[in-house]
Amino acid sequence: MNAKSFLVTGGAGYVGSHAVDALLRAGHHVTVIDDLSQGHRGAVPAVAELLVGDAGDRALLARVLAARPFHAVMHFAARSLVGESMQKPHLYLRDNVQTAHNLIEETVAAGVRRFVLSSTANIFASPPDGAALGEEAPIAPGSPYGEGKHMVERLLHWADRCHGLRSAALRYFNAAGAHPDGHIGEDHHPETHLIPIVLEVALGKRSHLDIYGDDYPTPDGTCIRDYVHVCDIADAHLRVLDVLDDRSVRYNVGSGSGYSVRQVVEAAEKVIGRPIPVRMAPRRPGDPAVLVADGNRLRAETGWSPALPGLEDIIATAWAWRSRHPDGFGG
C-alpha cells in the first residue's frame, strides 16, 4: 500500500490510539490532534506527530490541514459517556457537535475528500424484542450523547451532498479489550466503563462493582451489550477507506453477540481466576436495555470480520495490559 497521510483527532484516547497503531503498521503517516483531556501522550508513538490542542480550533485545523495533502480525517475526539450526557447535555449537544462542525468545514475547505466518524450504537433505542440492530433500524437516541452523534452524522450527510465529502459513520457498539501486543490499552479518569472497572476490582483498587439495575427486560435483568475488540474497530477504519472512493456509508460495528453485565462479570472471573464482588445499584439514566449489532453490512461490503470475537479472549487482552500496567499510562 502507498503511504498516505491521516489526520486523527482524539488519537491519544482509547479507540483512537489503536487506530493510530493500525495506520502506522500499514505504513501511513499520522498526525494526531488531542487535547489530552482523556488521552495520554504515552499512547501515541513518537513516529506519529502529536499536536496538543482542540479538535474544533479552526486556526489550528487550517494550519495542520494545509501542511500536507491528507488522504482522510478520522474523528475520534469527543466526550463519550452516556451517563454524563444525561447530567450535562450541553457538553454533548453543543460541544461535541460544534467541534465536529468546525472540523468538517475545515476538512472541506482544505480539499480533503474522506472523513471517518466515531459514531455510536447509542443512536438506537433498545428494540422491544432485543433483536440485533442493522443500519436501517429506527434512529431513536437514548441520550444527549447519542443525539449529538446523530446530529454529526447529518452534518456529514450534507457535507457529501453539498461538497462531495465522502464519509463513513462507524456506529461502534461497546469497544473493549487492549492491543494484543500489550503496549496500549484503556485508561480513563475517572473510569466509568464496565470491563476496566471489573479489572480494577480484581486489582484491589475498588472493593466491588456496582451493577446498574437488575430489573431490565433481559433474561437476568441486567443490560446486554455487544462487546467488540478495539483492534477490530481499528481495522474497520482502514477497511472503509476504499469504499469511500465511491460513496458515503454508515456501518454498525459489533460482533453480533450480546452479553449481560452479569455474564461479563462471570467471564472476567474465569479469565482472571478471582471472584469479583458485586452490589446492586439503581439504573444509570440513559442506559438502553439491549444493544447488539447486526454487522452484516460491514462484513459484506468491506470483508471485515472480528479477529477476536470471543468475550473471554477480549477480556484476556484487557487484563494482560491492565495487570502489567495497574496505574494505566501513569505506571
Ligand X SMILES: O=c1ccn([C@@H]2O[C@H](COP(=O)(O)OP(=O)(O)O[C@H]3O[C@H](CO)[C@@H](O)[C@H](O)[C@H]3O)[C@@H](O)[C@H]2O)c(=O)[nH]1
Site residues, ligand X (CB under 6 A): 80-82, 120-122, 173-174, 192-194, 197, 209-212, 223, 225, 261, 284, 287, 291
Strand partners, 267: none
Name the nearest CA neighbour of 14 among 268, 200, 231.
Answer: 231
DSSP character for 41? Answer: G
How much is the CA Rg of the chain, to the nearest whole Å?
A: 19
**Interface with ligand NAD in residues 142-181 (CB under 6 A):** 172, 174-175
Can you tell me the distance from the alpha carbon of 30 to that of 114, in angstroms, rounded to the nearest whole number? 15
Beta carbon of residue 121, minimum distance to ligand X (angstroms, whole number):
4
Other beta carbons within 10 Å of 214: 17
Exactly one of 20, 23, 48, 80 binds ligand NAD (CB under 6 A); that residue is 80
The answer to whether the beta carbons of residues 241 and 311 sit under 8 Å apart is: no
Give the phi and the psi of residue 118 in degrees, each rounded to 5: -80, 100
Q: Nearest residue by C-beta to ligand X?
A: 223
Q: Which is nearer to ligand X, 58 or 94 (CB)?
A: 94
Beta carbon of residue 188, minimum distance to ligand NAD (angstroms, whole number):
6
Can you tell me the distance from the alpha carbon of 40 to that of 241, in angstroms, rounded to the nearest whole number? 26
Beta carbon of residue 120, minimum distance to ligand NAD (angstroms, whole number):
4
**Interface with ligand NAD in residues 44-73 (CB under 6 A):** 54-56
Q: Mind giving me the DSSP string for 192-207?
A: --HHHHHHHHHTTSSS
Q: Nearest residue by C-beta to ligand NAD?
A: 13
Catalytic option among 14, 92, 145, 259: 145
H-state helical runs in 171-310:
194-202, 230-243, 261-272, 296-302
Q: Does 194 bind ligand NAD (CB under 6 A)?
A: no
Q: Is the peptide bond before 288 cis (omega within 30 degrees of 0)?
A: no
211 contact, one of ligand X, ligand NAD, none, CB 5-8 Å limit per kind:
ligand X
Name the nearest CA neighbour of 318 among 120, 184, 174.
Answer: 184
76 contact, one of ligand X, ligand NAD, none, CB 5-8 Å limit per kind:
ligand NAD
**What is the distance, to the nearest Å, from the Cα of residue 272 to the centroid of all Cα atoms in its chain?**
25
Please report where in the chains the cell 447509542 appears, as a residue. Answer: 122
261 contact, one of ligand NAD, ligand X, none, CB 5-8 Å limit per kind:
ligand X
Question: Binding string, 246-265, against ligand NAD, x = CB under 6 A?
Answer: --------------------
The dihedral over CA atoms of 214, 127, 237, 233, expressed in degrees to the nearest 10, equals 30
Q: Which is nearer to ligand X, 163 or 297 (CB)?
A: 297
Q: Does 13 bind ligand NAD (CB under 6 A)?
A: yes
Give catalytic status of residue 145 as yes or no: yes
Q: Does 118 bind ligand NAD (CB under 6 A)?
A: yes
Q: Which is nearer to ligand X, 120 or 255 (CB)?
A: 120
Applying CB under 6 A, which residues contact ligand NAD?
9-10, 12-16, 33-39, 54-56, 76-78, 80, 99, 118, 120, 172, 174-175, 188
Q: Catalytic residues, which ones?
A: 145
